[in-house]
Structure 1
Amino acid sequence: MSNDPTSIARKVPRIGLNRSEVALAIGFSANTVDLMVAEGFLPKPRVWHSRKVWLVSEIEASMSEWPEDGVPLSKGEKDVDDGDSWRASV
């Protein structure tokens, strides 16, 4: 058995992700992750010193609350999809 750090790292499940890893995991840019946090579509990161980490479980729970495509919104919910609503302003 190899003690190669990369093979060991593959065996450890990820429970926290940094900003760029969150973006990669959900298929958006890092700037869009910031916008999604500001709009409440993603949770705020946890902070340790200056390091920000998102818990995978909180990201999954948050995304499960997003509206499904084609499902009418509940009373009081606002439809923010203008075709470009997930893009961060440049």
Structure 2
Amino acid sequence: MPINKSHGPEISKWRRRLERKGWIGLRRSLPPTGEWIEFHVIWKGWLYSGRCRLSDYDQADYWREGSMTYLLYRQQDIVEGVWRRCEPGRAG
């Protein structure tokens, strides 16, 4: 079931809980480009999660809807999002 605006309070609690565990909110700070990161974003009502190093992607991905660069830097239609640096040995 897609996440919608009526889930707002639960989504904020989810983000704050992750921030207490060391995650960084996308609205607070953008992730670094040259380091491996993990992320969770709610985009168009769905939760997307992954690991990536944004410097590995083409700059044109900034404009490609749904790409990791688009989700993490443009933040268009993002309801909430968090990221953190990957633990050593867990990247890729």
Name the TM-score, length of structure 1 as normaliser: 0.25
Choose between structure 1 and 2: higher strand proportion: 2
Give the greater-gyration-radius structure (CA): 1
Q: Which has the higher contact order (CA 8 A, sep 6+)?
A: 2
Name the TM-score, length of structure 2 as normaliser: 0.25
